[in-house]
Each structure stands twice: as C-alpha cells, then as structure tokens.
C-alpha cells in the first residue's frame, strides 16, 4: 500500500471525497489537525492544505515512510491509551479507515474526543456492512465492519454527536460485491490497494469514485461500501 496509495483509484477517490468534506467544514485559517493512524502518510499532503498537521502511527515502518514522504515528525502512538498529544487541542481529528482496526473503538474515540477544541470535529471513515466480512478483512487486520446504526452507537457512547453520516463508494458497489463474492468462492484474500490496475482502468475508476464527492456533500447514497461520519462534542 505504501507503494500504491498515491495513485491507486481507491485511495485517490477516497482522498477526493474527504478533501471536499473538510473544505465544507470551513475550518479556521490557523486550524490544528490531527491524523490518528496516519499509516504511510498518503493523506498528509492533502490535510496540510487545511491547516497545521500532527500525526501518530503505531507501526514503525509506516511511521518512517510517512516521515520521509511528508517531512513531518510522525509520533509513535496507539489507541486508546498511548496518545502522545494529551496537552494539545485540535480543530479536526481524522481517523481514515482506522477505527475498524481497534479493539476498543468506543474508548479510542472517547480518548480522542477530549483533545477537541470546543468547536472541533472528528471525521471518520470505516468499511460498511458486516455481511461483507471476508478474508479481505482478515488480511487487513479488521476487527469489524460497521452499519450506520453501530457506528452511530459508538460515536454517541464516546460522548460525541453525529453531525453527518453518509455511505460512499456506491457507484462501484455492485462490482465490488461481485468481486468479493468471487474471491470468497476461489479462496483468494487479495486486498484492494495492494495491486495497481492498468493505467487506463485505474484512471477511469479513480475519476468515477472521485465524482461521488458531489453527491456525498448533499447526503450521499442509501448504500455504499464505506461510511463517512462527522461528529463533534455534545
């Protein structure tokens, strides 16, 4: 993923949707932003367009890649009890496909919530539909997939209020379900993002996925492979 997340259609499309949603938050010009679980740093350049960025990551290899890529000092940290920013407050805290990897998702979100400024928000993306659980999730070390109801419950139990909750990655939903079913039948455990499709196909899928940002900003779809939530303190 470190080698493909700059170009792979899934990462490109997700960044476009996230970028549009952050722009709509109208953060202050001096915004302080935290990415919790920065991985290999694929989102950091985009986030820096919106403010001063801090980041934490558990995996040492990913941290080093992110440091080399961004020039930022990515700190070692883990949720829920090893957060290295306890004395700082943020306008935006981002968890992009992170919460599903954490066993204690409620405690983790609650621990991050105390780092918000009074008007701060948390933006979350997670995979949807527990019924789609497969070897794909095992390969990616997921603990769970979410429904709208289960994600809302986690957010509320963490002491936060849901401002927005939408599905996305909907246009390619039928194809993704078919591909996932085929992998199950064939016993394959390939993970999206680990292989880059041919350039023409990759670019077409990237443009198609990115175009969802115009619909997500107005409420999105009633279905989709992922969920995006924006929440704030009650």
CATH (domain of 188): 3.40.50.150
Instruction: Give the Cα separation of 21 and 199 in Å (integer).
Output: 27
Joined tokens for residue 87: 């004395």
Q: Is residue 2 part of a domain?
A: no
pLDDT at 155: 98
Distant-in-sequence, close-in-space partners of 172: CB < 8 Å, separation ≥ 6 = 205, 208, 209, 225
Structural domains in the chain (count): 1
Q: State phi, psi for 176 to the nearest 5 degrees.
A: -65, -40
Q: Is residue 48 part of a domain?
A: yes
Joined tokens for residue 33: 């932003």
- β-pairing, 160-168 with 75-76? unpaired
pLDDT tens across the length of the chain (234 residues): 788 999 999 999 999 999 999 999 999 999 999 999 999 999 999 999 999 999 999 999 999 999 999 999 999 999 999 999 999 999 999 999 999 999 999 999 999 999 999 999 999 999 999 998 888 889 889 999 999 999 999 999 999 999 999 999 998 888 777 776 666 666 665 555 567 899 999 999 999 999 999 999 999 889 999 999 999 998
Going by the DSSP 8-state scheme, the letter that residue 196 receives in this structure is: P
Q: State phi, psi for 11 to the nearest 5 degrees.
A: -65, -40
Domain span at 88: 9-233
Q: Is residue 177 part of a domain?
A: yes
Q: Is residue 203 part of a domain?
A: yes
- Count of CB atoms situated within 10 Å of the CB of 40: 24
Q: Is residue 144 part of a domain?
A: yes
CB 36 within 8 A of CB 125: no
Q: Is residue 125 part of a domain?
A: yes
pLDDT at 181: 67
Instruction: Give the Cα separation of 44 and 21 in Å (integer).
Output: 15
CB neighbour class for 141 (10 Å; exposed up to 12, middle 13-18, buried from 19) = exposed
CA 74 to chain centre: 17
Which strands make up the sheet holding 52-57, listed edge to edge? 75-76, 52-57, 32-36, 90-96, 116-127, 226-233, 160-168
Tell whether the torsion through CA atoms of 107, 112, 118 and 121 is positive or negative: negative
Q: Is residue 148 part of a domain?
A: yes
Instruction: Give the Cα separation of 53 and 74 in Å (integer).
Output: 10
Q: Is residue 3 part of a domain?
A: no
pLDDT at 189: 56
CB neighbour class for 133 (10 Å; exposed up to 12, middle 13-18, buried from 19) = middle
- Count of CB atoms situated within 10 Å of the CB of 119: 10
């Amino acid at each position: 993923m470190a080698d493909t997340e700059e170009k792979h259609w899934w990462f490109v499309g997700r960044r476009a949707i996230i970028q549009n949603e952050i722009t709509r938050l109208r953060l202050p010009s001096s915004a302080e932003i935290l990415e919790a679980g920065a991985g290999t740093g694929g989102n950091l350049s985009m986030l820096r367009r919106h403010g001063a960025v801090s980041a934490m990551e558990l995996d040492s290899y990913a941290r080093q890649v992110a440091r080399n890529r961004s020039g930022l000092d990515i700190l070692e940290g883990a949720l829920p009890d090893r957060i290295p920013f306890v004395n700082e407050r943020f306008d935006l805290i981002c968890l992009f496909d992170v919460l599903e990897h954490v066993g204690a998702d409620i405690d983790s979100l609650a621990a991050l919530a105390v780092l918000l400024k009074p008007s701060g928000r948390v933006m979350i993306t997670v995979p949807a539909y527990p019924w789609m659980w497969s070897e794909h999730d095992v390969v990616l070390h997921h603990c769970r997939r979410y429904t709208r109801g289960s994600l809302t419950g986690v957010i509320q139990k963490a002491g936060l209020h849901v401002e927005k909750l939408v599905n996305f990655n909907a246009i390619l939903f039928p194809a993704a379900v078919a591909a996932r079913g085929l992998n199950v039948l064939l016993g394959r455990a390939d993970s999206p993002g680990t292989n880059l499709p041919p350039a023409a196909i990759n670019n077409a899928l990237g443009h198609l996925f990115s175009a969802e940002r115009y619909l997500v900003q107005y409420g999105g779809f009633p279905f989709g492979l992922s969920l995006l939530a924006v929440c704030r303190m009650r």
